[in-house]
Amino acid sequence: MDVLTDAVEAIQVRNSGFDPMGPVVCSAVVGSGRTVNYIDDGRAGAVPLLFLGGAGTTVRAFRLLEFARSFRQELGIRVVSVERNGLGQTAFDPAVGCAEYAEDVWSLLDTLGIGQVSVIAISGGGPYAATIIAARPGRVRSLHLACAFGEMPEGADSHLEAGTVEAGTVAADPVAWWRFPAESSVHSIPGFRDSVIEEATRGLFAKGRDVSPEGLRQAFELYASQPLPDLSSVRAPVFLYWGSADELVPLAQMERWKSALAGRETVERVYPGEGHDVQYRHWDQILADVAFLGGRIVASSDGRTQLIVPMEEDGFLAAGGILGLAAWQDPGTLVI
């Protein structure tokens, strides 16, 4: 046999490196001397977006939104997120509240060479975002609030209030904290349910099964007692995303944000009949608003996604199109 003449040409493959398994968690010592855990995903020249997840979430909760990773990268958005006190891999320090957390976030952004930054807060990330933007209002490029808790109305009976939602109860069954109703759009996202289970357990048990959930307890106490700070110095455009049927963080909370941010350029995106999951169903629009500051609407028709101008939205929907990526119309199909 002539091995030279019978040799088969090698097949070249494109996958020469490792594919990401979610954002990589890094650590840094910031100006306060504290060590923070954070993610930084995206190229240096991209639009920086500071992400604050909901109550009890770790810094890796951002991966629950990476079903639109290709779209985010196409828009050129870099995401930075800093883990909050006592959650995930971050040890609990009773001296670290919202103000100290904000100080550490800005110190890290300085270290990363980030000047102006867009800020997105969902659900329980709201009070932390408020403190962050109040501390450096001139460095906020835009503010995006998706069903974000603001403050407890005086005399209100809310299940976010400490004593009504107990950290110990959540710790006993953390996955239940993430349970979405059967009709929720999140069930269309492949692997979302399993990823939620991983995030729920990581949030409370990353440091060991028997570690007390002090970080979550502190957060619930904060939600019940801390008012919104003075946001009058914030001049950045504001984008609000809410479901009209959200019972956990109802529209009344959006109105409190509007009052605190009165006088700002504000875009309200209220989705009829939707609940406490607009941050997932309309994450694509949030990304587009970060990139274009309200100049484009994400819409799809016949399996194709387009970025249309706002004045075309009503006609597009009337012709049978949908808001968001094409995958929402046909899960498993994503054409951009």
Q: How many domains does the chain have?
A: 2
Same structural domain, 111 and 180: yes
| Cβ atoms 286, 120 nearer than 8 A | yes
Q: How far apart are CA 52 and CA 59, in angstroms?
A: 8
Strand arrangement, sheet containing 117-122: 26-29, 35-41, 77-82, 47-52, 117-122, 140-146, 238-243, 266-271
Q: Are residues 214 and 236 in the same domain?
A: yes
What pLDDT is stored for residue 101 in this prediction?
Answer: 98
pLDDT of res. 280: 97
* CA distances (Å), origin 135, targets 131, 226, 262: 6, 16, 18
What pLDDT is stored for residue 336 in this prediction? 34
* Residues 283 and 307 placed together within one structural domain of the fold: no
Q: What are phi and psi of 130, to 5 degrees?
A: -60, -45
Check whether residue 322 and residue 228 sit in a common domain.
Answer: no
Task: Establish if 8 belongs to a structural domain.
Answer: no
- What CATH number does residue 281 fall under? 3.40.50.1820
Q: What is the Rg, in whole angstroms, of the alpha carbon atoms belonging to the chain?
A: 21
Long-range pairs for 39-45: beta carbons < 8 A, 24 or more residues apart: 39/79, 39/80, 39/81, 40/78, 40/79, 40/80, 40/112, 41/78, 41/79, 41/80, 42/72, 42/73, 42/76, 42/77, 42/78, 42/79, 43/76, 43/78, 44/78, 44/113, 45/76
What 3-state class would DSSP assign to 162?
strand
256 within 8 A of 151, measured Cβ to Cβ: yes
Residues of the chain with pLDDT under 70: 1-7, 154-165, 331-336
Query: Which residue, 70, 61, 23, is CA-closest to 327?
Result: 70
Count of alpha carbons within 13 angstroms of residue 78, beta-carbon side: 15
pLDDT of amino acid 21? 87
**Domain check: are 140 and 108 in the same one?**
yes
Does residue 66 lie in a domain region? Answer: yes
Q: Please check whether residues 191 and 335 belong to one and the same domain.
A: no
59 CB-near residues (< 8 Å, 6+ apart): 23, 25, 37, 38, 39, 81, 82, 83, 88, 90
Residue type, 327: A
pLDDT at 152: 80
DSSP per-residue string spanning 236-279 = S-EEEEEETT-SSS-HHHHHHHHHHTTTS-EEEEEETT--TTHH
315 in a domain, yes or no?
A: yes
Query: Are residues 309 and 278 part of one domain?
Result: no
| Residues 119 and 143 sit within 8 Å (Cβ to Cβ) | yes
Q: Which one-letter amino acid corresponds to residue 91?
A: A
Whether 249 and 260 have beta carbons less than 8 Å apart is answered as no
Helix %, strand %, coil % for the chain, to 5? Answer: 40, 20, 45
| Closest by CA position to 71, among listed 312, 316, 306, 329 | 306
Cβ atoms of 274 and 180 within 8 Å: the answer is no
- What residues pair up with 104 in beta bridges, in sequence order? none
In a domain, 11, yes or no: no
Maximal CA-CA distance, the chain: 90
**Structural domain boundaries enclosing 166:** 20-295
Amino acid 159: pLDDT: 47
| The pair of three-digit structure tokens given for residue 321, joined into one six-digit string | 């199109």
Q: In this structure, are 336 and 237 located in the same domain?
A: no
- Is 4 inside a domain boundary? no
Residue 261: predicted pLDDT: 95
Q: What's residue 333's pLDDT?
A: 46
In a domain, 40, yes or no: yes
What pLDDT is recorded for position 105? 98
Q: What's the token pair of residue 270?
A: 């209220």
Q: Are residues 276 and 302 in the same domain?
A: no
Within-domain flag for 270: yes
Two tokens, residue 246? 């959200």
pLDDT at position 170: 82
Domain shared by 202 and 333, yes or no: no
69 and 216 together in one domain: yes
pLDDT at 202: 92
Q: Do 45 and 185 fall into the same domain?
A: yes
